Copies of this chain bind each other. A is one copy, B any other.
Amino acid sequence: MVYGKSLSVQTKGFSDICDITDIVSSVISESKIKEGAAVVFVTGSTASISTIEYEPALVEDVREKLEQIVSQKMHSRHSQTWGDDNGFSHIRATLMGPGITVPITGGRLVLGTWQQIVLIDHDNRPRNRDIFVQIMGE
């Protein structure tokens, strides 16, 4: 069985980290699938999906580290060519990847106690982000 849904999440950009665990769980409930997996994927080339212990101090740590590794101030041929100044956003997205697949058992996501699914929007402005959640199983 397959049950998919496109969802929209409002973000602030600049690697804003948004907890989407409840959204994904809702789609699983709607799907009636008990055993399987949830493919969580962001459509767009300047955002990523991962997991984190979602608490404010750690969220800031991750954003600061991303700034150290791929700075907003870096020279970017992409930014220079297209004038949209978001080369760093694209690079962060490609390095982190666009999605994850989380097992489902007993109708619930298999996650650790302190582990949430997050959308990380690397773009250089607030956006209304589309994510697609595909539930597969039985």
CA distance A97 to B44 in the complex (A): 18
Interface size class of A (residues with CB under 8 A): 35 or more
CA distance A132 to B111 in the complex (A): 9
Chain B residues near A43 (CB-CB < 8 A)? 110-112, 115
Contact (Cβ within 8 A) B112 A45: yes
Number of copies: 3
CA distance A101 to B81 in the complex (A): 30
Residues of chain A in range 30-72 having any CB-CB distance to chain B below 8 Å = 35-37, 39, 41, 43-45, 50-53, 55, 57-58, 60-62, 65, 69-70
- Tell me if A2 counts as interface (CB < 8 A to partner B): yes
Question: Assuming the A-B contacts A4-B103, A45-B112, A78-B55, are A50 and B91 also in contact, with contact meaning beta carbons closer than 8 angstroms in the complex?
Answer: no
